[in-house]
Amino acid sequence: MTFYSRSTLYRRFVPFFRYSPTSSDSLFLLDRYFKRKSSKPWVLGIDGKWLRRQGVIMIYRDVTNKVNLYWSYRFSESYEAIEKDFKLLVPIIADRLPSGVITDWKGALVSAVNIFLPPLSHQRCLAHVKRSLMKFLPLRSPIVATQQLRKVATEIVQGTQFVNQLV
């Protein structure tokens, strides 16, 4: 397996970042997909991949069926940037709304989901929960409760992978 640095990935993909698909492009590409999967519930996952000072790639994904619905290149994860994306994304998914949303719970994402989508269950991404817990719980704490919480934090994502394998 080959690994690439962040700067190499940026250099190779930068031509594509500036030309994100329009809502009509996405509708054309996803029309058959939504018609074929219309009866099954699905979950919308939203996250941004930071490229340091170059900006952020916002990814909107059907995490249930592992399909990217929309992506955009923005300079920040601000509310204005996410609002532009939602104005393009909502017409694509209007006929088949998700049964839930998963984000990292940044304020702009939570606000946009609450404004542009009907009331849905909104879960925080478990990978982000794990990252926060590992950051705030000391590695070599003498307190038993902290050690136990760190163990739970390390297993939180593995437990969901195990549950997904059973389903």
Q: pLDDT of 49-76, one tens digit each? A: 888 888 888 888 888 888 888 888 888 8
Q: Are residues 164 and 86 in the same domain?
A: no
Is the pLDDT at 8 greater than 50? The verdict is yes
Question: Per the structure block, which two tokens stand in for 1?
Answer: 């397996």
Looking at residue 100, its pLDDT comes to 92
Quote the domain boundaries for residue 167. Answer: 125-167
Is the pLDDT at 110 greater than 50? The verdict is yes
Count of domains for the chain: 2
Is the pLDDT at 38 greater than 80? The verdict is no
Instruction: Taking residues 39-52, report their average pLDDT.
Output: 86
Q: Are residues 28 and 107 in the same domain?
A: yes
Could you tell me which of 135, 131, 140, 101 has the C-alpha nearest to residue 118?
A: 101
Instruction: Taking residues 119-134, report their average pLDDT.
Output: 86
Within a domain: 67: yes
Q: Are residues 117 and 133 in the same domain?
A: no
* Cα-to-chain-centroid distance, residue 48: 7
Helices (H), the chain: 6-17, 23-36, 79-93, 107-116, 126-136, 144-166
Within a domain: 1: no
Of the CA atoms within 13 Å of residue 11, those in its CB half-sphere come to 5
Q: Are residues 119 and 150 in the same domain?
A: no
Instruction: Taking residues 133-145, report their average pLDDT.
Output: 89
Q: Assign 1 a pLDDT band (cuts: 50, 70, 90).
A: low
Overall pTM > 0.85 = no
The C-alpha atoms of residue 149 and residue 53 are separated, in whole angstroms, by 34
